DNA sequence: CAGCACCATGTTGACGTGAACATCGGCTCG
DNA sequence: CGAGCCGATGTTCACGTCAACATGGTGCTG
């Protein structure tokens, strides 16, 4: 900075003012400084700036894996939204649920240059991790369980599962089976609970849920089982990938979708409309989740005095060709 | 830091030594300092540290979109590998190819606290962007075009396309059609070129490639066209998503895969093995790409004196059920 | 026992920036 | 025409850390 100042024949402070776009600088001087910055290839040192200001203009995102569609889309939305506010996003991966890993993330976290963090995290792991979150660091949780301890942005999983189930019931199906996600997933548990509740509200006793692990493979496995049962006519899978595996199993078993069995997924993958048949599913609004998460987090960062709140982002049923009215039942 | 020093009755320097794990500290003193750090909730200030050391332990990743499978997997690998070396990863999204966006990325980049950047970027855009890359910042390119200007980690697109094409020819198909990616994509162009070259090497004059935009939708569109042609028996799609859309179109047209038409994709999506039918495709080793990119970048960061080089990561044909021998041709 | 090496710890200063305050000159207004 | 004000610019200092050097004490060697 001093080099630029000398080159332009001004003081360092004036350079600082130009580089921060402050008002009280003579246009001629400003131009001279800008030219000098160009000439000398000056880049402000963000470490010094952060040190001086106590702010980093960076937020951290803690997540287990990038390999799921939902996490990726959420991250994408967060990054986009953060960039709009001129914040950078730093990724803090946590590989596994071991205590080692969590404290590893902690040591990185505690040293990281962050103004706040967004956590996309299965609930049960948060219990271990929360002890180690640096105090005073603003936090927003996405799709996770918590008391009033944090601000949470939450997709309306329950309503999505209800819509899926009622869609199938509305088509005349007498029972809806469910391929759930892993029991360790908060989202999966809520989808399963809502499915169960919705059936009961319609006077139907739900069968046992089959638990998968979100993978197509697990959907396929359960599909091999369900597909052999003549009484199964409607299946709600807790995500699109399991629905895909499920449909593959049904194809192999010669069961027609939707002729024999209707299938609903959850997520609305980019590809879902090109599955065979195109998949009826529940669309999540990841962009909105990311948007709200950043909005709330930055509010906390700037004002220090934000109440914790819970934001619910709605889901929407997308009807395609994998669902059809139930065949008339034998009287 | 001074608070901790006072609390432990030592000097700031000793606290610094403890916090950096330096050797020459009496175990008793070290313990006292650690206790004080705990008691006071001390966290080292990374801005000050970065200012002092001139290093941030952070690398940037510039990319257009997180919404493609390949980018996501590559990013995942980069983050994992960086974490292993105790580096953080900051995302620098560039939305569109407009000059506005590129200079926006530049202003963020030039102010960002980075030791180096990895660019996952279509080639033609790099031309505009390269002018604005801060000089002296170590750079590694992934899957992009360049002279010797940068170090590049590159998936062996050409060999993958060759394997796909030869696999189909080996099954007895007389011609292989190709649904290519957008012409603006370097990877797409190389796959298309290699497909063309491979056919010529086998004495076959390639038909015109059909250009999609990587989306299932574009695969579907071209599938509607190709599927109507009786002479088409083998199609190589430049990614799995287009292959998926293609197969949906073929199903709709009543063409059997692989009975009537064999299909090969590229990428090996997590879901590809559950497509209907399970997709024969080319697997890319994203983990290796991420690993090599980080390795090379950190080498540059640490030694300043690294030659630019080009690393080629191999691809592999995964044979599933979407390809079958050609029917015996009429004599 | 003198001399010296070595270890634990303390002191000083500089990294680059921007807020707060200081200064200086010109312009307005009574 | 002088007082006061305002805008442009300069000066000083502190942010938290760590490298380099300084200090003082302990123990070993010849």
Point out the least confidently predicted range of A22-26, A318-322, B39-43, B68-72. A22-26
Cβ burial B276-295 (10 Å sphere, 16+ → b, else e): bbbbbbbbbbbbebbbbbbe
Query: Which residues from the 23-62 window of protein chain B have CB within 7 angstroms of nucleic acid chain C?
Result: 23-26, 28-30, 48, 51-52
Are B185 and B222 found together in one domain? yes
**Secondary structure (DSSP) of A56-95:** -SEEEEEES-S-SHHHHHHHHHHHHHHHHTT-EEEEEE--
Write down the pLDDT at residue B43: 83
Distance CA B282, CA B157 (A): 9
- Checking if the pLDDT of A131 tops 50, the result is no
Chain A CB contacts of B219 under 8 Å are: 274
Please give the Cα distance from A216 to A197 (Å, whole number): 26
Residues A261 and A167 in one domain: yes
Q: Do B75 and A66 touch (CB under 8 A)?
A: yes
| Comparison of pLDDT for B132 and A270, the residue scoring more | A270
Strands, E, within A243-284: which ranges? 262-264, 281-284
In chain A, which residue's Cα lies nearest the Cα of B110? Answer: A43
A44, A91, A247 member nearest B89 (Cβ): A91
Residues A150 and A290 placed together within one structural domain of the fold: yes
**A262 and A222 in a common domain:** yes
Reading chain B (331 residues) residue by residue, the pLDDT tens digits are 888 888 888 888 888 888 888 877 888 888 988 888 888 888 888 888 888 888 888 899 988 778 788 888 999 999 989 988 888 898 887 765 444 554 555 556 666 788 898 988 765 555 555 446 677 788 898 987 766 778 899 899 999 999 999 999 999 999 999 999 998 888 899 999 999 999 999 999 999 999 999 999 999 999 999 999 999 999 999 999 999 999 999 999 999 999 999 999 999 998 899 898 999 999 999 999 999 999 999 998 887 566 888 999 999 999 999 999 998 654 4
Asked, for residue B322, whether it belongs to a domain, the answer is no
Does residue A320 sit within a domain?
A: no
What's the pLDDT tens digit per position in A189-241?
A: 999 999 999 999 999 999 999 999 999 999 999 999 999 999 999 999 999 99
A273 and A260 in a common domain: yes
Residue A21 CB closer than 7 angstroms to strand C? no
* Distance D25 C1' – B49 CA (angstroms): 32
**CA-based nearest residue in chain A for residue B81:** A93
Q: Are residues B163 and B200 in the same domain?
A: yes
Could you tell me the distance in Å between the CA of residue A24 and the C1' of nucleotide D1? Answer: 30
C-alpha separations of A253 from A119, A256, A261, B127, B203 in Å: 41, 9, 12, 53, 42
A130 or A160, which is more confident: A160
Distance CA A305, CA A51 (A): 23
CA distances from A248 to A118, A178, A182, A217, B158 (A): 36, 16, 21, 10, 31
The distance (Å) linking the CA of A240 with the C1' of D17 is: 50
- Kindly state whether residues A137 and A171 are assigned to the same domain: no
Helix, strand or coil, per DSSP, at residue A16? helix
B105 domain residue, yes or no? yes
Count of domains forming chain B: 3
**What is the structure's pLDDT at B185?**
83
Q: Give the separation between CA A276 and CA A191, rounded to whole angstroms.
A: 24
Tell me the nt nearest to A14, Cα to C1'. Answer: D9
Q: Residue B331 falls within a domain, yes or no?
A: no
Residues A96 and A144 in one domain: yes
A274 and B244 within 8 Å at the Cβ level: the answer is yes
**Quick one: B128 and B115 in the same domain?**
yes
Q: Is residue B116 part of a domain?
A: yes
Asked if residue B173 and residue B272 are part of one domain, the reply reads yes
Say if CB B287 and CB B153 are below 8 A apart: no
- Whether residue B120 contacts residue B61, with contact meaning beta carbons closer than 8 Å, is answered with yes
Q: The domain containing residue B257 runs over which residues?
A: 157-283
The answer as to whether A243 is a domain residue is yes
Task: Identify from A56, A274, A279 which residue to disrupt to test chain B contact, counting B C-beta atoms within 10 A and taking the largest count.
Answer: A274
Protein A52 CA to nucleic acid D16 C1', in Å? 10
In this structure, the answer to whether residues B179 and B266 fall within a common structural domain is yes
- For residue B78, list chain A residues with Cβ-Cβ distance below 8 A: none
Tell which residue, B78, B118, B65, has the closest CA to residue A75: B65
CATH number, domain containing residue B20: 1.10.260.40
Q: Peptide bond before A277: cis, by omega within 30 degrees of 0?
A: yes
B278 and B295 together in one domain: no
**Could you say which DSSP state residue A257 is in?**
T
Residues near chain D strand, CB within 7 A: A 9-14, 17, 23-26, 28-30, 48, 51-52; B 1-2, 12-13, 16, 19-20, 22, 44-45, 48-49, 51-53
What CATH number does the domain containing B134 carry?
3.40.50.2300
Name the residue facing A276 among B41, B241, B251 (closest C-beta).
Answer: B251
Smallest CA–C1' separation from A26: which nucleotide?
D8
Cα distance between residue A151 and residue A149, in whole Å: 7
Tokens of A190: 């809520």
Q: Is the peptide bond before A43 cis (omega within 30 degrees of 0)?
A: no
Cα atoms in the Cβ-side hemisphere of radius 13 Å centred on B161: 26
pLDDT digits (tens, 9 = 90+) for A82-127: 988 888 899 887 765 444 554 455 556 666 788 898 988 765 555 5
Does some domain include residue B237?
yes
Domain presence at residue A218: yes
User: Nearest-CA residue of chain B relative to A90?
Assistant: B90
Candidates A50, A88, A216; nearest CB to B90: A88
* Lowest pLDDT segment from A123-132, A303-312, A318-327: A123-132
């Amino acid at each position: 900075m001093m080099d630029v100042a000398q080159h332009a024949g001004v003081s360092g402070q004036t350079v600082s003012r130009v580089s921060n776009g402050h008002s009280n600088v003579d246009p001629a001087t400003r131009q001279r400084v800008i030219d000098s910055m160009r000439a000398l290839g000056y880049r402000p040192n963000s470490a010094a700036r952060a040190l001086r200001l106590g702010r980093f203009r960076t937020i951290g995102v803690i997540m287990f894996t990038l390999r799921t569609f939902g996490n990726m889309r959420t991250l994408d939305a967060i990054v986009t939204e953060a960039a709009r506010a001129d914040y950078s996003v730093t990724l803090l991966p946590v590989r596994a649920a071991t205590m080692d890993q969590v404290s590893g993330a902690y040591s990185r976290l505690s040293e990281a240059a962050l103004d706040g963090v967004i956590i996309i995290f299965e609930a049960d792991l948060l219990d271990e991790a929360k002890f180690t979150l640096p105090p005073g660091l603003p936090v927003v949780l996405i799709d996770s369980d918590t008391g009033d301890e944090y601000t949470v942005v939450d997709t309306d999983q329950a309503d999505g599962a209800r819509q899926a189930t009622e869609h199938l019931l509305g088509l005349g199906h007498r029972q809806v089976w469910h391929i759930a996600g892993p029991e360790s997933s908060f989202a999966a548990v809520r989808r399963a609970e809502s499915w169960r509740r919705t059936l009961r509200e319609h006077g139907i006793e739900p069968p046992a849920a089959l638990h998968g692990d979100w993978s197509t493979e697990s959907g396929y496995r359960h599909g091999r089982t369900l597909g052999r049962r003549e009484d199964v006519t409607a299946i709600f899978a807790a995500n699109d990938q399991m629905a895909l595996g499920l449909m593959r199993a049904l194809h192999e078993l010669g069961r027609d979708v939707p002729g024999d069995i209707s299938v609903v997924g959850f997520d609305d993958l980019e590809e879902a409309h090109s599955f065979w048949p195109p998949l009826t599913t529940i669309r999540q609004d990841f962009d909105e989740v990311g948007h709200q998460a950043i909005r709330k987090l930055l509010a906390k960062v700037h004002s220090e005095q934000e109440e914790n709140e819970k934001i619910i982002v709605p889901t929407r049923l997308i009807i395609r060709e994998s669902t059809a009215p139930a065949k008339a039942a034998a009287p």
